Structure 1
Amino acid sequence: MSNLLKRTMTGLVLLALLGTILFFGGRVLHFAVLFFSLVLCHELIGAFKHKGKEIPEHYIHLACAFHFVVFERGWPWFVAFTIPLFFLILYYLKEDQFTIEDMGISALILIYVPTFLFPLMSLDKTNYLYLVFVIAIATDTFAYLTGMAFGKHKLCPSISPNKTVEGALGGVIGALICGLIYCMVVDIPVTYLHGLFIGLASVTSQLGDLFASKIKRATGIKDFGNFLPGHGGFMDRFDSMLLIIPMVYILYHFAL
């Protein structure tokens, strides 16, 4: 089976799974977010362990579970990060082999995955939930097509040689057009604020992709995992989406 066929089949399965989760929402979405947070953290920790870092995976997973409880209970969002951070400091004071660099990486994982991912639960039963995926898909699609057609100037050749400035701009414009059309279709007000945050979300989406690529280069791995044939790990597919969620979450609350 060719790699393209594997990627296509895996992509279709992921879309079907995602569609099912979004359709049911509620507890299905909430537990899916918890599951994906555990998987994404596991893959990130594995990458840094490949580089010889000692990251307490059990602690990170407990922090994800605490994030789940915070958003389930509707507690203030900052509680979800600050309490685990306090315990991370205590862990650093207690364990001599746990270096300050390991602590920084652990804090980074807590920000990058659960802190950015769990606000998705707050968008449940709103049209802004689907806007996250509209922006993600439109950015990836238009960045690829524009880059293939017009790409000449490399964006970050040392990190991702195939990405171009033209492709990045095409991704932002495509996401802006698709995002605003989606807003009009589902009766979300089309305002300058919505246009601004949709554009920013597309930019952060591409930054997330570059950030994950640089982590892979820094840790000496090709993919974050091999669970998804033709794609690698879940982090290889959802790295850009993680940075879209906070932007849409902020937009949702500003727009109320």
Structure 2
Amino acid sequence: MTPEQLRFLRGPMLLRSEGDQESTYDQRLLESGSDHEWQHADPWRVLRIQGEFVAGFDALASLPKAVTVFGSARTATDHHDYQLGVEVGKQLAQADYAVITGGGPGLMEAANRGAHEANGLSVGLGIELPHEQGLNEYVDLGLNFRYFFARKTMFLKYSQAFVCLPGGLGTMDEFFEVLCMVQTKKVTNFPMVLIGTQFWSGLVEWMEKTLADGGYIHEHDLDLFLVTDDPAEAVEHIVRRHSVLSDKRIKDFN
């Protein structure tokens, strides 16, 4: 980051910019009154939730095609998986995708770093948690959310694919939620990739032997995601799936 490129907060958004802000929100609208008890009432919470959706839609509306990358916040920078995450972010950026993560440290930082260092757009959608830091330093466009469900909506609405690196409960939560959305066709032509065959093998085997064989899911549901160790294969899979959809749309239009 050059001295001219400064990171600053504009409301809930973190931006990297080459210039200063002309004004701030509180300059344009001064707070009135000193009694803040009303902020804790349920009607205000509804407005606060609405505000998070409005801020997210406003900040991300012009986002180019993008891929969300999930992964552990606890992975150290000298770990093999961190370098894998950097390579994933880099190759996605080189394929002209913006890279969206949860904006935190670990493998989220790795993917943001890869995209940022490849001169791609690096996006972070953070969440207030008691044990994690703020948005990592490789985020070019960032928002911080209070509510998980508002944040999850942004991941789904503004991504065209998901990549899951090794991770904990948060990564598992996102994987199964998105997989459910794909399986029920709430989102269509939405490639999903799990990177790390050794890490994911136990889960995939359980899904095959317990869920599919037991009739809890269809065996074809296991084809909704790719498992690989190769970032190049992951990106190629995403690009190919999107290319097929584009060709189909052109054919249908003609």
* Fold match (TM-score > 0.5): no
- What range is the shorter-chain TM-score in? under 0.3
- Relative contact order, higher structure (CA 8 A, sep 6+): 1
Higher strand share: 2
TM-score (norm 2): 0.24
TM-score (norm 1): 0.23
Higher helix share: 1
